Chain A
Amino acid sequence: MSHKQYEKWILNDSPLSEEERKLLDAHLVVCENCRKLKKGWQNSLQLMQSSEQHEPAPGFASRWQIKIKQEQRRKRIVRNRIILFSSVLFMLFASAAYIVLSGSLSAFLANLITISAQVILFITRGLSELSLFFNEIPSILRWSIGIFMMGVANMFIILLSYLIWKARRNHKEVQGAHIYAQD
């Protein structure tokens, strides 16, 4: 019988028949290599059987919840970017298609310049009328409106600072959770 067959019997999980067992025992008496192989495998198996199961650090499920929320947020951001990018591309191609199909690039440019000029004119007129209005009203009212506008501007600055602070704190919390996960 080939040496490989004995190796197979030594390393096999399934139980051997009575005849196979006798043949293997007889072979083990004369073959030192096979005796070593059997001993080595039995010891390895014993070592695997006695080894403990490794457990994750406490709070594994909570860390998973944070991670899945981050993953979902990331996916949402990517999806929004794709939608925005596709919309911009669609607008560009639709404009290009309009220009090509209308057959008049110069007319399109002329319209564009006219509309832009009208918009600028409208803004300029509005501003000049506004300055005339402020010159006519009493100075006490002018100062009151100025102070009120400054207050509104400050409110926006405070709101912006609060939002930045909150975003930074959230970021630090997420980082802290990640560091805990690494521990």
Chain B
Amino acid sequence: MGINKTTLEPHLETSFVEAECIQQVLDGNEDAFTDIVEHFQSPVYNLCYRMLGTPQEAEDAAQESFIRAYRYIHRYDSKRPFATWLLSIAAHYCIDQQRKRHLFSVDLDEIIEFGITDDSPNPESAIANDEENELIQEKLATLPTKDRMILILRYWYEFSEEEISSALDITKSAVKSRLHRARKHMAEQWNSEEEDISQKKGRQHEPQAI
């Protein structure tokens, strides 16, 4: 069910080395947190990218998530997996950013262009140009903020309903209903796009009046 299990899963488990790093940070060794950043940068960045849709916003959000994690590391409960705690910080930050975007910006172009990356050359362009990635970003963009986050945590990070509920501070029943709504929305999006394509094809095959 999960996506790219081989690339994501090794990052999401709290290994002995990470536990050691966290303990070192708690003991006052600030540099130890850089190892944590290096280890978790990909899953955190990917989550931010899926939520916000552009490399620049994803970079800023991922950086800010690590700063918050560093600031509040003393609140981390070692009984929980570190990745779950870290990703919940990133998730909350991305949801806040999305809310701010809706509150302070009514730029329709920005909403329409969500998920379409700029043409400037950067390491992201190779991936962003991929049609499948663009298509999934466009579909995710049509979901409400929280539903999008729940879907991302469920299908990219294999979070259980309980884990999503605890990460986003919402009830398990709310997670279930939002997940159901998000899946239905994604299915309908797919179908409506297919209908549009078939209608366009139909028009192309119609004899043109001269």
Q: Please, how many angstroms separate the alpha-carbon atoms of A44 and B191 in the complex?
A: 10
Quick check: A60 and B37 within 8 Å, CB to CB?
A: yes
Quick check: A56 and B42 within 8 Å, CB to CB?
A: yes
Q: Please, how many angstroms separate the alpha-carbon atoms of A61 and B62 in the complex?
A: 11
The contact of A56 among B62, B70, B194, by CB within 8 Å, is B62
Tell me whether A125 is interfacial, beta carbon within 8 Å: no
Minimum CB distance partner of A67 in chain B? B63
Chain A hits for B66, CB < 8 A:
64
Quick check: A36 and B37 within 8 Å, CB to CB?
A: no
Quick check: B190 and A43 within 8 Å, CB to CB?
A: yes
Stretch of B16-24, B48-56, B98-106 lying at the A interface: B48-56
Quick check: B42 and A55 within 8 Å, CB to CB?
A: yes
Chain B hits for A8, CB < 8 A:
180
Interface majority SS (helix, strand, loop, mixed), chain A: helix
Q: How many residues of A contact B (CB 8 A)?
A: 36
User: How big is the B interface, by class?
Assistant: 35 or more
Minimum CB distance partner of A48 in chain B? B155
Quick check: A56 and B59 within 8 Å, CB to CB?
A: yes
Tell me whether A149 is interfacial, beta carbon within 8 Å: no
Chain A hits for B124, CB < 8 A:
54-55, 57
Minimum CB distance partner of B11 in chain A? A53
B163 shortest CB reach to chain A, Å? 14
A19 shortest CB reach to chain B, Å? 21
Tell me whether B95 is interfacial, beta carbon within 8 Å: no
